[in-house]
Amino acid sequence: MAFLSGPQLLDWTSSPRHLQFNKFVLTGYRPVSSGSECVRSLFYLHNELGNIYTHGIPLLGFLFLLPANIPWSQIAVSWLGVVHYLACIMPHLGSVLYHLFMNHEGGESVYHTLLTLDMCGVCMVNTLGALPIIYCTLICYPSTRSMALFSYTALSSYAIYCAITAHSNITRLCSFAWQAFFRFFCFFLRWVGLGSGHPSSLHCYLIMDAVALLGGMINIARIPERWKPGKFDYWFNSHQIMHILVVVSILYLHWGVVADLLWITGYSCPLE
């Protein structure tokens, strides 16, 4: 795409204090802008452009292509398809809004509202994304399944609170730890034969969580810009790498969930 000329960009020391969260990104900061000026920043080069497009392009793809890749007519429990669709698009939507408008003239209050939306999107993929996994794993145990779905949803509300009130990337990542433990318990049940699901789904889910964890760790470590400050201001910094890994993780979630939803349609629980 052809980039337009933009305003004079700032260095790290000249940018607003609430945007000084990565000291290894030295240049390319947008000045404080109105809403329309933030939108215009889609068309000129700055250090948030890669963050916007690495989630903006997948957002458009998931919005319009994902419904065609969910076998609605073959899904026995339709709400599972709906929550899966929402789980796949919400983190991208929150991220795009956050990165696009983070330098809004509303200042720090607007920034923290956008950060909250971004964190809510992350929480949604962790919460809604796991519901089909839990449902299919415990398909033969209706009472336990209902209790597990309710418990996971209720406790996820606390995870959202922890994530939006966290004061660092490390504590924010830790906010989602118990949700990961819950998912891994479901994976363990499948592995030992006490849970159910499509044979290929467990492999997808393990890759999903491994890739997501790797992305989170890269973001916390600020690699590779930590090694060469200023060299990755515009492209290939840790946050962009994390965004790409998040997209890969959600693709594996999608492949695993679709396989599971098709599988339970023709599955009959064994008689006791």
Domain boundaries, the chain: 32-265
CA distance 185 to 191: 10
Helix, strand, coil distribution of the chain in percent, nearest 5:
70, 0, 30
In a 13 Å sphere around the CA of 120, the CA atoms on its Cβ side amount to 12
> Position of tokens 């997209």?
247
Topology (CATH level 3) of domain 32-265: Rhopdopsin 7-helix transmembrane proteins (1.20.1070)
Please give the helix or strand (H or E) that residue 63 lies within, else none: helix 49-65
pLDDT score, position 4: 67
What pTM did the predictor assign? 0.90
Check: CB of residue 127 under 8 Å from CB of residue 153. yes
Tokens representing residue 216 in the block: 């989170």
For 74, residues 6+ apart whose C-beta sits below 8 A from its C-beta are: 261, 262, 265
pLDDT score, position 176: 77
Inter-CA distances, 145 with 141, 176, 178, 185, 192, Å: 6, 21, 18, 13, 17
CA distance 59 to 65: 10
Contacts by residues 217-221 (CB-CB < 8 Å, ≥ 24 positions apart): 218/242, 218/245, 219/169, 220/169, 220/170, 220/173
92 assigned to a ligand binding site: no
Amino acid at 67: P
CA distance 83 to 85: 5
Given a cut of 70, the residues of the chain with pLDDT beneath it are 1-4, 271-272
Q: What are phi and psi of 33, to 5 degrees?
A: -140, 160
Largest Cα separation within the chain, whole Å, is 72
Q: What are phi and psi of 84, to 5 degrees?
A: -65, -40
pLDDT in tens, 109-140: 999 999 989 988 888 898 899 999 999 999 99
Q: Which of 188, 191, 169 is nearest to 180 (CA)?
A: 188
239 assigned to a ligand binding site: yes
203 assigned to a ligand binding site: no
Check: CB of residue 258 under 8 Å from CB of residue 88. no
Is the bond preceding 142 in cis, omega lying within 30 degrees of 0?
A: no
